[in-house]
Amino acid sequence: GAVVSQHPSWVICKSGTSVKIECRSLDFQATTMFWYRQFPKQSLMLMATSNEGSKATYEQGVEKDKFLINHASLTLSTLTVTSAHPEDSSFYICSAPPLNYGYTFGSGTRLTVV
């Protein structure tokens, strides 16, 4: 079945530094990738939609300059958290649109900013 590989699974970074999270579709081409953020005991919150070859679409309230999304190819989408601060600590998840059985999700990245 469709697999989305997300790396890293966890990362700790210092405040003010940038962190890149990668999501790769391993056995299919993903022209679109959705990026979610999840705080403890809360549901997934959609941050943005990346599209191969065009600019990402951000949800209301999400800072475009802080969360840089690039969809470099049909198999790779990246999320860069720039100038990270402790309040950016969260669980980030990517997801590719359906093949036959709905969305395929990455395994998530736990970001901790210290």
> Which among 14-22, 63-71, 73-81, 97-105 is the span making contact with other proteins, rule CB under 8 A?
97-105
77 part of the interface to other proteins, by CB under 8 A: no
Rounded-to-integer distance, Cα 101 and Cα 111, Å: 29
How many chain residues interact with other proteins (CB under 8 A)?
Answer: 25
58 part of the interface to other proteins, by CB under 8 A: no
- Per-residue binding letters, 5-44, with other proteins (x by CB under 8 A): -x-------------------------x-x-x-----xxx
Render 6-55 in DSSP notation, one character per residue. Answer: EE-SEEEE-TT--EEEEEEESSS--SEEEEEEE-TTS--EEEEEEETTEE
The binder of other proteins chosen from 49, 50, 78, 90 (CB under 8 A): 49
